[in-house]
Structure 1
Amino acid sequence: MPQVLSAKERSLFQTVVRNYEDKQYKKGIKAADQILKKNAKHGDTLAMKALIMNSQGKTEEAFALAKVALQCDMKSHVCWHVYGLLWRAVKNFEEAIKAYKFALRLEPESAQIQRDLALLQIQMRDYQGYIVSRKSMLQSRSHIRQNWTALAVAHHLNGELAEAEGVLTTYEETLKNPPSKTDFENSEAVMYKNSLIAEQGDYQKALDHLESAGKHNLDRLAILELRATYLTKLGKKEEATKAYRALIERNSEYKKYYDGLVEAMAIDAADHKALKAVYDEYAEKYPRNDAARRLPLDFLDGDDFRETADKYIHRMLDKGVPSTFANLKHLYSSSFKRETLPSLVQQYINSGKSEANEEPKRNGDTSKGASSAYYFLAQHYSYYLSRDLDKALEYIEKAIDLEPQSVDFHMTKARIWKHYGDSHKASEIMEQARTLDNRDRHINTKAAKYQLRNNENEAAIKTMGMFTRAETVGGPLADLHDMQCVWFLTEDGQSYARQGKVGLALKRFMSIYNIFDVWQEDQFDFHSFSLRKGQIRAYVDMIRWEDKLREHPFYTRAALSAVDLYLKLHDKPLANGTNGAADGDEDASERKKAAKKARKEAQKAEREALARKNEPNKATKEGDSDPKKKDDDPDGAKLAATTEPMTDAMKFLTPLLQFSPNSIDAQIAGFEVYIRRKKYLLALRCLLAASALDNEHSKVHSQTIRFKLALDKDLATLPPKVAEIIKSEFTLLPESVSLTQFNNDYLSKYEDCARRTLSGLSARKLLAHDLAPSTDADVVKVLKIDNVAMEEAVEGLELLQSWKSGALEAFRKAAAAKWPNATVFAASS
């Protein structure tokens, strides 16, 4: 039976609750201990004490005490609620939901428990449960608009659009007086309801609602944009045209408005004359407008394109606009436009126009036309679709001669050297560009990025430190972690991976994984905040964005790099588990020293862990619930010393396969992990998915052969049902053709493609070890293939390195002769 408190102790218990809410944890503990002196088994007090201890960082002790509280009073909703809060604090939302539901059965009228449960349900995307919780909250407090809106959102996210609209309509019918025109919450609710109507496809109803309820809405731009969209979809061309013209009057640089106007006017895409007339009208109306002059270049061709492009380029070069090439490079998908644009720039230079333009001069310089023209041509010849690096370097040098203080010109010069493959020279020149403007954050980050590409990690940290907070404990790197600077952590990790410093590389990639976890968890506070502030449309957009969070290229890049490292650790574990090259040729004495150092670090970490256990973390000041934790693995030695690299790889791989199923790189990585784990069904699923995305991909070919070889080896050990499924689904190989013949046919078919040839040669190495010398020689011959790219040559170099081939130096010399500036082919010292 639960102990009953006296009136004085009940008052003291309320003091404990207030102390917790006010973050006065020491006072709360003291008050709780006073109660427990006389009532040692009072469950609610024990639970509150556990909650306070958890806020002080004593998580293990808090859980132990919370379990004691439950043993003392299993029927206390406070004990179960606190137990749920503790699970929520450690991110175990499933267990927290169970505890909340138990607490709610004991105290169905508790608004606090109901709210906490609802927040976790939406966090976990339990939409059905969220609807039930929101209905219950609405029934108990139907006078609060937030409860109505939240129920509508619950139905909306569950795909029940009509029900969501009905909830909002019901609330509107309960209002006795119309809301104020300046009521922001009502304004957003009206627009949200309109979006629900539109999502159902009833554009006439959405338009009518917009004209009536949204007439005086605070978001005027959204009203104008939606009205134009609805009118277009309803085929009301004249009204839609007028609506889009009104939008262009507001913002004449927005491409979407021009596209909408053209669609509303029902102009045929092939009628270039009519299309150009639309843009010419606004180019004449707004003399400084860029969009109306640039957009016609997308659809014009032939002489019309040449004439319009000539005028546009002259205008931009006269003004010395640095982004001229960036504005036009999307046109390079057309070979005609790719050849025409540089010829027009060359004509501009030859005509002498560049030396005597009539535009106002900048910074007292004589002319920007010539330098801008040279800059354009340098970017043109540096671009991958029109690459001629010698010419690019020639033109950028001319531009720099005219404007030696231009940051943009030096940046492009550095980029040209990057394309040459000389990362050292590129980093050096980018650093020169940075010194031209020490206050520019963009060039600062570019310089750091190039330093990382050249494996200058410490220099990059120092460069970034110019724009980080000086007072941050741990220096610039700690601040970059705090600021969640994902690009830097990714580049830093990949740099360490190239250097063979596996621990530090994994450390960076794990940091990125944790940052995405934080972004996932950060939405928690917005579930209540957005409803409280009435920002419903932004909230729904955030929920949908969070659902696709792991599709982000930043995560994909880091995850694939981490998986690749774990694959290498599986194939060739580090000799000592520490940072450094994973090379079996290092001296025995060096290995012994490294192993001794690793043991000492492990023993030190154990001692520190024991000390923390005996003396748990204390907050630095009263109310500080997030004390700074010491990093017990600063160099990633523990990560690199993993005994289960494939299990660790799954942590990164699972979100990739779940949220980026159309990424062929993710499927290829999935196959590599599953084939090593002997999960043949899962490996086959990844292989079939990759094949469906690109059947001719080089990796698909080699993985098909490897899968067949692995299957033949282990088929007898597989369960009959699994073997039967694999046999029926694995149809990538013709039954009547041997693997050798299949591979030879592939090599013959793609003899002009370096990457596919390398894949075929890699497969040949597996199939015929006796042909190893000739296979190695054929890898060297890949360099003679027309249009072989430097990136493909690097793959060939890495392939020979993995084989420890005797042809490695011959390949390196041939590649160095073909790309003399590329540092990757330089002889190793």
Structure 2
Amino acid sequence: MADTLPPKEAQLYRKLSKCYDTKQYKQALRHANAILASADCLDHPETLAMKALVYNSLEKRKEALETAKASLRKGIMKSLCWHVYGIIYRCDGNFEQAIKCYRQACVKDPPRLTADVFFPCCQKNQIILRDLASLQIQMRDLDGYRESRRKILMERADLAQNWSGLAVAHHLNQDYDLAIEVIGKWLDLQKESKTPLHDTELSETLFYLVQLHADKGDPETALKLLHEHDQEIWDRRGFHEMRAQLNLALGAQGQTEASEKAATIYGHLIDDNPEDRRYFDGLFEAKHLTEPAKRMAVLDEVHNRYPKATLPELLVLREATGDDFKSRVDTVLRSCLRKGMPPLFNMLRHLYVDSTKVATIQTLVEGYVASLEKDRAFAAGEGIESPAVLVWTKAYLAQHLDHLGQYDRALSTVREALAHTPTALEVYFVEARILKHMGRLNEAADQLELARSLDTADRYINARCVKYQVRAGQLEKADQNVVMYAKENGDPMDYLLTLQIVWFNVVGAKAYWEKRDIPRALGKVHMVADDFNTIISDQFDFHTYCLRKSTLRAYVRFLEGEDNLHGHPNYIEAAILGAQIYLYLKQKPYKKGGDEDDDPALIGMSEADKKKYLSKKRKAAKKAEAAAAVAATDNKAAAGKGGAKKEEEDLSSRRHYDKKGEEHALTSEPLEAALKLLKPALELMPKTHVDLYITAFEVYRQLNKLLPMCRMLAAAAQIDAEHPDVHVCRVQLLQILAGGIDGQDELVQKVLPEVQKSLFGSVSDAHALNETRKAKAAAEPKEALAYNLGRVALGEASVDDAYAAVVAVVAKAESFPLKDAQALASRVRREAPSQLQACQAACLRLWPAADAFKPRTSTEASA
């Protein structure tokens, strides 16, 4: 086929391109079909490519992909066809395939047509290269990104963003000298340019150049540049912070004068903002203030100048001791209690690592309460205080006692405060937190529901109430409250998906998992994963925007933040939970519709209660099916009014995730699904969440991958070597290694002996390793769990016998943290249900009010 179009079709193509640019997609589609209907242009590749773009803009992904493939078959040498194919892959989130397509588009010769005939992307490789570069930085292909940026600059050296892009590419590759050279060359060219940079762009570029020298490890040159361009850098706060940091770095190299300058600058920064902890830390480091008395003198001087500043007054409490501390904390407590500051306890929490200071605070606050109740004053003979002061004082005392584990007294104290002033909403939070620490989750949720009803316009109270209700298993109430502020049109639960309420999905997944509603639990887990993936995908548009706006320092920090996104606690918790569910499915595959016998609510019920519970459950299921049928009928009726659009929207609805949750539960490869969730977090190797590595170890163990098992065990041991599950992992791995590694790859066999030595030292017998925990196993629940699960791993005991031994130790223990007791009960319910009643009884002895250990009736289970 000829590269040129007949005059009539060429005119239609111009209209097609114009309609696409102005987002008149239906009109553009008609023009494309008219061109393709011509006998001479039945399979015109560029028109097919444009038609694919129109379909893509109309959210018709399937048709867009098919049309793009057709255009490629007819014009495999056409740059536009490859470019459009890449755009469609990019919109679908398949960045790897999109990069391949863009690379093909770059190597193909662009069409030799007049500029106003074909899609503008085909005129030059510049736009294709820019899109390719964005994809490469999105996928962190740093070498490819640098090369693409070099080519872009070679073609258009007159644009500032092209110079900035290449400098950032070198920076990300840690080639600081080349990055500095690129920025320097561009600044030199600007001196001769007829269109110089805008002042803000010049300011950011110069500041970025200073940052490059600092990152390179050359603070002296960076400081010199900073002073040279003092008048051109507009970010004055950032300017002074950078000056202080650079002088501090020079001071660390032995330049005394630089340290003095740093101290002076930090002093000025404190004058600007005495509530920034970084400035005080910098000042102490610059002045080499290691003695508490000297730091206190500085803090007192700042507080005298700024008496309304809170931070200096709080920092000095950490340094003070004895009577001086008592006097100072007395002043702080009285001032804050008079003001009625709810976060007072959190402000002073850092002092609770010192038992002497804790005792002093308790003596003072108890004295306040007694005096306020008797004389309405903090001390006899002093002025009368407002009645509200007693409420806040008792609320603080309750939090103090709660922190010390004196839950009964804390609960009594906070209820006295509420009896005094029932409308103090913040005090309800204190009571709910105490009840949570006692394990009384339902009461805690009910108290926050009461607080929420007192102020239905407060979103924060509503959110906290929802979180407590989900923890208590009150899922229906939580669903009703969480959508209270949703938009009225459409399903309010679908509106929540657009808000990306990650914490709600995390706690919801845990609650559904406790109820063994596996599809919904997995649906929630994958909602969290999709939310984080969406955040990752959303960075795409910023790759060109930040370069265009010259916000280079913020852009580099932004990329670093995105790289660490999957280290967020919410993602890690969701990934661990999802992997644990998949491990459970590996042992007990999910049956479509669920398995009544697998319902954990049945454990511990009498036969009569079981029958009642199952009957209610079946009736509820039938009711839900009927409601779903009605909804399906309504959807069909709406098909003539945009039903196709409704079907497309359902892909991002809660119903979609419920359906996908069941598909996830029915997976034939649960271990691979578990790894897919864990890997983004494991790549960052966070120094928290020992459960992440324990769970990954188990997945790799079932996949028989020894080296990853060793890596997970080493990471877990660095966080908590005494953790019971870490001990079990060590026993399992040592037993596997003792059994021989003949079936492993040659490379694995070569390195494993060294790895084994680093992990276990001279210990080579798994039984002997497990016996090291036996001595304490008779008295300490955690040690008993480690030892007895180690015996299970060695084949020396059954799971039921192991947990029976652990429960026996708990039954005799003097103390066992509530969190550990709840985790043990959850494990027993999942792994050894025959021991659940005994476990609940043993834990209930230590935590008599905790909901988790109370036998459930059919009424409670169906609630």
* TM-score, structure 1 normalization: 0.89
Query: CA distance change for structure 1 residues 619 and 141 in 2, over 3 Å: closer, same or farther?
Result: farther
Q: Which moved more, 1:441-450 or 1:785-794?
A: 785-794
Size of the aligned set, in residue pairs, is 806
Letter in 2 for 1:658: E
- Other-structure match for 1:561: 577
Seq. identity, % = 32
- Other-structure match for 2:452: 434
- Other-structure match for 2:117: none
- Other-structure match for 1:481: 497
Q: Which moved more, 1:751-760 or 1:479-488?
A: 751-760
Match of 1:634 among 641, 648, 658: 658
Query: CA distance change for structure 1 residues 746 and 737 in 2, over 3 Å: closer, same or farther?
Result: farther
Q: Decide whether the 8 Å contact of 1:181 with 1:216 is kept in 2.
A: no
- Mapped partners of 1:735, 1:60: distance in 2: 60
Q: Deviations over 1:441-488 (max 9, x none)?
A: 1111010111101111121121122222222x221x211111101011
Question: Where in structure 2 are the equivalents of 1:191-590 lying within 5 Å?
Answer: 191-235=207-251, 236-267=258-289, 269-270=290-291, 272-352=292-372, 355-356=376-377, 366-383=386-403, 386-471=404-489, 473-475=490-492, 477-578=493-594, 582-583=598-599
Cα shift at 1:649: 1.2
Q: Decide whether the 8 Å contact of 2:439 with 2:852 is kept in 1.
A: yes
Q: Deviations over 1:204-244 (max 9, x none)?
A: 22222222213242211111211222233333244333322
Cα shift at 1:511: 0.7
Establish whether residue 645 from structure 1 lines up as the match of residue 670 from structure 2.
yes
Q: Decide whether the 8 Å contact of 1:16 with 1:31 is kept in 2.
A: yes
Establish whether residue 170 from structure 1 lines up as the match of residue 178 from structure 2.
no
- Mapped partners of 1:736, 1:217: distance in 2: 62
1:159 is paired with a residue of what secondary structure?
A: coil
Query: CA distance change for structure 1 residues 740 and 143 in 2, over 3 Å: closer, same or farther?
Result: closer
Q: Which moved more, 1:533-542 or 1:547-556?
A: 533-542
Letter in 1 for 2:15: T
Query: CA distance change for structure 1 residues 2 and 220 in 2, over 3 Å: closer, same or farther?
Result: same
2:480 is paired with a residue of what secondary structure?
A: helix
- Other-structure match for 2:54: 52
Q: Deviations over 1:639-678 (max 9, x none)?
A: 2222322222122112122123544221101111122233
- Mapped partners of 2:22, 2:651: distance in 1: 21
- Other-structure match for 2:158: 143
- Other-structure match for 1:6: 6
Letter in 2 for 1:745: T
Q: Deviations over 1:134-191 (max 9, x none)?
A: 2222222222111111111111111111211111111111123699897221121121
- Mapped partners of 1:579, 1:450: distance in 2: 28
Letter in 2 for 1:375: A
Cα shift at 1:313: 1.9
Establish whether residue 92 from structure 1 lines up as the match of residue 94 from structure 2.
yes
Match of 1:706 among 732, 742, 761: 732
- Mapped partners of 1:640, 1:466: distance in 2: 30
Cα shift at 1:9: 2.3
CA RMSD of aligned residues (A): 3.5
Q: Decide whether the 8 Å contact of 2:399 with 2:410 is kept in 1.
A: yes
- Mapped partners of 1:627, 1:693: distance in 2: 43
Q: Decide whether the 8 Å contact of 1:331 with 1:338 is kept in 2.
A: yes
Q: Deviations over 1:731-778 (max 9, x none)?
A: 556877754443233121455532232121223345334896586255
Q: Decide whether the 8 Å contact of 1:248 with 1:254 is kept in 2.
A: yes
- Mapped partners of 2:678, 2:839: distance in 1: 34
Cα shift at 1:815: 2.4
Letter in 2 for 1:446: R
Q: Which moved more, 1:319-328 or 1:551-560?
A: 319-328
Query: CA distance change for structure 1 residues 6 and 462 in 2, over 3 Å: closer, same or farther?
Result: same
2:23 is paired with a residue of what secondary structure?
A: coil
Q: Decide whether the 8 Å contact of 1:776 with 1:805 is kept in 2.
A: no
Q: Which moved more, 1:664-673 or 1:86-95?
A: 86-95
Query: CA distance change for structure 1 residues 683 and 234 in 2, over 3 Å: closer, same or farther?
Result: closer
- Mapped partners of 1:593, 1:405: distance in 2: 42
Question: Where in structure 2 are the equivalents of 1:787-806 lying within 5 Å?
Answer: 787-802=815-830, 804=832
2:526 is paired with a residue of what secondary structure?
A: helix
Letter in 1 for 2:421: E
Query: CA distance change for structure 1 residues 482 and 778 in 2, over 3 Å: closer, same or farther?
Result: closer
- Mapped partners of 1:581, 1:771: distance in 2: 20
Q: Decide whether the 8 Å contact of 2:201 with 2:549 is kept in 1.
A: yes
- Mapped partners of 1:812, 1:338: distance in 2: 34
Q: Which moved more, 1:785-794 or 1:578-587?
A: 578-587
Query: CA distance change for structure 1 residues 757 and 396 in 2, over 3 Å: closer, same or farther?
Result: same
Q: Which moved more, 1:6-15 or 1:508-517?
A: 6-15
1:132 is paired with a residue of what secondary structure?
A: helix
Query: CA distance change for structure 1 residues 311 and 434 in 2, over 3 Å: closer, same or farther?
Result: same
- Other-structure match for 2:775: 748
Query: CA distance change for structure 1 residues 131 and 681 in 2, over 3 Å: closer, same or farther?
Result: closer
- Other-structure match for 2:21: 21
Cα shift at 1:495: 1.1
Letter in 1 for 2:725: K
Query: CA distance change for structure 1 residues 376 and 530 in 2, over 3 Å: closer, same or farther?
Result: same
Cα shift at 1:577: 4.6
- Mapped partners of 1:430, 1:49: distance in 2: 56
Cα shift at 1:388: 0.5
Question: Where in structure 2 are the equivalents of 1:618-629 lying within 5 Å?
Answer: 620=645
Cα shift at 1:583: 4.3
Query: CA distance change for structure 1 residues 134 and 796 in 2, over 3 Å: closer, same or farther?
Result: closer
Cα shift at 1:711: 6.1
- Other-structure match for 1:655: 680
Extract unaligned runs of 5+ from structure 2.
111-123, 252-257, 603-609, 858-863
Q: Decide whether the 8 Å contact of 1:761 with 1:779 is kept in 2.
A: no
Q: Which moved more, 1:562-571 or 1:728-737?
A: 728-737
- Mapped partners of 2:275, 2:136: distance in 1: 43
Q: Decide whether the 8 Å contact of 1:66 with 1:82 is kept in 2.
A: yes
Q: Decide whether the 8 Å contact of 2:106 with 2:125 is kept in 1.
A: yes
- Other-structure match for 1:126: 141
Cα shift at 1:707: 3.6
